Structure 1
Amino acid sequence: MSPARISRGTNPLRDPDDLRLPKIAGPCAVVMFGVTGDLARKKLLPAIYDLAGRGLLPPGFSLVGFGRRDWDDAQFAQTVREAVEAGARTTFREDVWRNLSDGLRFVQGEFDDDAAFDKLAATLRALDEERGTGGNAAFYLSIPPDAFEPVCAQLDRSGLATQEQDSWRRVIIEKPFGHDLASARELNQTVEHVFGADSIFRIDHYLGKETVQNLLALRFANQLFEPVWNSHYVDHVQITMAEDIGIAGRAGYYDGIGAARDVIQNHLLQLLALTAMEQPNSFGADELRAEKEKVLAAVRLPEDLAKATARGQYTAGWQGSEKVTGFLQEDGIDPGSTTETYAAVKLEVYTRRWAGVPFYLRTGKRLGKRVTEIAVIFRRAPHLPFTDTATEELGQNAIVIRVQPDEGTTLRFGSKVPGAGTMQVRDVTMDFSYGSAFTESSPEAYERLILDVLLGDPPLFPRHREVELSWRILDRVERFWARKGRPEGYEAGTWGPRSAAELLARDRREWRLP
């Protein structure tokens, strides 16, 4: 048997039934549309190299780039190498690169070019003969959503989307999944007309982060937390994704999209669903997806959106020691733009577990620091047998799951201040950090997700119903904001507009300072 034909099941050094070992993808190829873009260069290509470096790709793995550049295979390989050397997590090794580069090919063409897609089909057939890809291929659409329809039509016309016996064809779609409910439904129909539902993988890279998955372990593997994970004990939940950067040269994408569509509709509502869902019977794709869908279907917005939402645009200010411009002064931004760079919303989950518990979601650019976290804030003790002065510095208990950076979990509780004087109680924290608790390094999110696609393992990928339920929630907010004119300004380096603080102040609460 040639090296190109060796699969996980025939590897004598690995037991495929040993769940402690990472699974290795079987024979396959990846076709990447948008291979010259920032996402491919900074994330996707380094992730593929890291998978190869960790021994998780088959020896005959092949990568085909498709684009308009007038490149041959050697020029494409040089571009991939530069991206890998700049962005890979693992140490660059010539032996790993040599094997990976042997399977690199480039096909030049436009999305409406029949001949280019016919050449792509021929390239995949040749790779199967040369490297033993088994006829298996995943098509990564790292392209704007308006290009999905012509690309899917070409994959259908050329027979590239057709699965032969004992082989598979899959498609990977990057967010955004539409810009509202109607466009999301149209997009789903376009893709599902060509690929079966089980062959469509919608990438939300936040779901590939180890800490997000650790939320499931925290909740369902520990008797300590699940009994208090409900409205009897939880006061409210805050889910934050804050960035300290501006739009970073993405004016063409960001203007007209905004913070809510870019982050709340996908990342933060997925985090809400994982935080609020009931325990699934297993972590299989169907069971996990069903519980998330139940939560999203139960989410409700308050009637008065003026009091339950906040939006803003960053203005000039200081980001640390650097003076930065405002959003309207960024290159490529219309000076009259009403696109928000900050969005916050109050939601409620109408289930028995969460009745009466508000979920506050916020995201923004040019905020005080970069952080993504889920903070579960508990009710105060019903009775404190201390004097008021003894508990002046005591807040509410909290469990904080840090998604990025410094992944881990913090538990905040009250403790006596050491000393022989009067009783004083103050907040302290117990901190779990992935970096210090485990010798294994956490894989980058795209590593995990790309490998899951190649394995055909779908639990972390939202199906079209989850996407549509999320848009149902956000569409009403977007329609309300469209009638309100320009967003409120907030100075770069601060924590958002005044209306965001007022949103919680009305409920006699305040945002957590990460």
Structure 2
Amino acid sequence: MSFTADRLVLFGATGDLAQRMLLPSLCALDHDGLLAPDLKIVGTARSDLDDGAFRNFAREALEKYLPANRRGGMADFLNRLTYQPLDATTLEGYEDLAARVGEPARGLCIFLSTAPSLFEPTIRGLQHAGLDGPNVRMCLEKPLGTDLETSREINDAVAAAFPEERIFRIDHYLGKETVQNLLALRFANILFEPLWNAAHIEHVQITVAETVGLEGRVAFYDDAGALRDMVQNHMLQLLALVAMEPPGSFDATAVRDEKVKVLRSLRPVAEGETVTGQYRAGAIQGEAVPGYDEELGKVSDTETFVAIKTHVDNWRWKGVPFYLRTGKRMPERVTEIVVQFRCIPHSIFEGKGAKVQANKLVIGIQPEENITLSLMAKVPGLDREGIRLRSVPLNIAMPHAFSGAVRRIAYERLLLDLLEGDQTLFVRRDEVEAQWEWIDAIRAGWTAQGLTPRTYTSGSWGPSAAIALAERDGVTWHE
């Protein structure tokens, strides 16, 4: 059902995500005139606040996390906000929430930014209060379970009240401008698609490196680890976008159909094709930082780093390794995709002493959004002692290329798509379950092998075994 919602309910409205992302994103959209004039936003959480106290809470979050040049009209935005205290685990209170929401003129969106354990009782409460009608959309923030079984339990609970076409599962990486630009790069340029296959690409690297440690996520992270926190969602979504076939059109069904095909084609990871690590005390950008065990306050086998070699077993990618790497307390914060092309089959310059390097495409996602293609060029000179060639970068710095465009928080796009009903950048149930099936097999392999994380020093690129994982194939991690 197509409609632009005029009601939005934020569960977990006093939480960290609401402060850092949701409220600033909604305020920025309002500043740009992109929210419906009659949109009302109802926050709910356990905290016993009234409307005024919640608006003060929101004002403090906006002043802290939203740039000053995007706060114009903040008072008008704050007037959109109301608040209803609620214990999501009991049915009591949901009718009061429904009364506060009122009867939407067009439709209602509900955003669950809560612990997954609260999803099922929340759905029951919404059904009890009649907040599950045909004009209601449900948005779910990750994590969606801890394995395939718990993910199915959550999805079954949500599906009992909402059909798939009204369920919006967020992976905020899909809202990032450069991630979407990957699709434009591939499917809007005739230059790349004929080369985007095993005949011309040697390997692909995907790196998501963080400089931070636990950062207040102690309980969640020690139960999750790097594989479930980063690989299961963000990194597999990036892999799927790199490897997918051209969809018939840019709509939710066509795009997600092609991503699912990739995820189902992932080869099970064999023994020796993963490396796990856990950081110890070291230094990040000259500042001493503690080790994971010190931050946690106990000994743990949870991995803070993982490197994986995998393959997509289909016609396009047969034989092309994909190397995935993510970790905390890395030397720098960077998310990037590296597409390493094969070398030319024959160099006409070899007899002149010139060495040729293969072309490389680097897609930077964060902290800087850019695309760099390395090309071979001749070094100027008379060449009396031979021809010299050098790899030179062709850079497209996205902020410079589009200097007049507003650079938006990923959640701005996703919240607007939710309100308008566009599911293209949201994750479908079969995608989530295909991701979990692959991740669960890796974890089962670790258990069977008795694999425990190797230690690495904070400020390094992880255990030395991760370097060996790539180097035994003649591959060097891009750093």
Question: When the two structures are superposed, what TM-score results if normalisation uses the length of structure 2?
Answer: 0.96
For the 8 Å contact 1:237–1:358, the answer to whether it is kept is yes
| Change in 2 beyond 3 A, CA 1:262/1:391 | farther
Distance in 1 (alpha carbons) for counterparts of 2:257 and 2:16:
34
Q: Residue type of the partner of 1:234?
A: I
Farther off after superposition, 444-453 or 108-117? 108-117
User: Which range moves more in the overlay, 477-486 or 251-260?
Assistant: 477-486
- The equivalent residue for 2:93 is 116
Residues 283 and 92 (structure 1 numbering): CA distance in 2 closer, same or farther, change over 3 Å? closer
Cα shift at 1:69? 1.4
Equivalent residues in 2 for 1:361-380, closer than 5 Å: 361-380=324-343
Unaligned runs of 5+ in 2: none
Q: CA–CA distance in 2 between the matches of 1:482 and 1:450?
A: 39
2:421 to 456, 468, 492: 456
> Distance between the aligned counterparts of 1:78 and 1:66, measured in 2?
15
2: CA distance between counterparts of 1:486 and 1:276?
31
Equivalent residues in 2 for 1:130-279, closer than 5 Å: 133-134=104-105, 136-163=107-134, 168-279=135-246
Closer/same/farther in 2, CA of residues 391 and 504 from structure 1, 3 Å limit: farther
Matched position secondary structure for 1:219: helix
Partner of 1:88: 66
Answer yes or no: is 1:432 the counterpart of 2:396.
Answer: yes
Q: State the shift of 1:324 in Å.
A: 0.6
* Matches of 2:25 and 2:352, distance apart in 1: 54
Q: Cα distance 1:185–1:321, how it changes in 2: closer, same or farther (>3 A)? A: same
- The 1-side partners of 2:170 and 2:176 are apart by 12
Calculate percent identity across the aligned residue pairs: 44
Contact 1:310 1:344 in 2 (8 A): yes
How far, CA to CA, are the matches of 2:30 and 2:94 in structure 1?
A: 27
Alignment correspondent of 2:34: 56
Question: Is 1:395 matched up with 2:357?
Answer: yes
Residues matched between the structures, number: 474
Shift of 1:92: 5.0
Change (3 A) 1:228 1:459: same
Q: What does 1:399-478 correspond to in 2, within 5 Å?
A: 399-421=361-383, 422-438=386-402, 439-478=404-443
Per-residue CA distance 1:178-207 (angstroms, 9 max, x = gap): 111111111110111111111110000000
Rounded to whole Å, the distance in 2 between the matches of 1:299 and 1:389 is: 43
Q: Deviations over 1:32-52 (max 9, x none)?
A: 111111111011110010010
Deviates more, 1:204-213 or 1:407-416: 407-416
3-state DSSP of counterpart to 1:279 = coil
Kindly report the root-mean-square deviation, in angstroms, between the aligned alpha carbons of the 2 structures: 1.7
2:307 counterpart of 1:344: yes
Q: Name the CA shift for 1:115/1:509 in 2 (closer, same or farther; >3 Å).
A: same
**Per-residue deviation, residues 59-103 of structure 1 (Å, max 9, x unmatched):** 121111111212110000000111112112462556x22322222
Compute the displacement of 1:135 (Å).
5.1
Secondary structure of the structure 1 residue equivalent to 2:331: coil
Alignment-mate amino acid for residue 362 of structure 2 = V
The equivalences for 1:27-42 within 5 A come to: 27-42=5-20
Q: Name which structure has the greater RCO, CA cutoff 8 Å, separation 6+.
A: 2
Deviations along 1:260-295, one digit per CA (max 9) or x if unpaired, are: 101111111111111111111101111111111111
Answer whether contact 1:301 1:346 (CA < 8 A) is retained. no
Q: Kindly indicate whether the alpha-carbon contact (under 8 Å) linking 1:85 and 1:92 is maintained by their aligned counterparts in 2.
A: no
Q: Could you tell me how far 1:505 is from its partner in structure 2?
A: 1.5
Unaligned 5+ runs, structure 1 = 1-8, 10-24
Q: CA deviation digits over 1:206-237, x for unaligned, max 9?
A: 00011111111111111111110000000000
In structure 1, the partner of 2:84 is 107
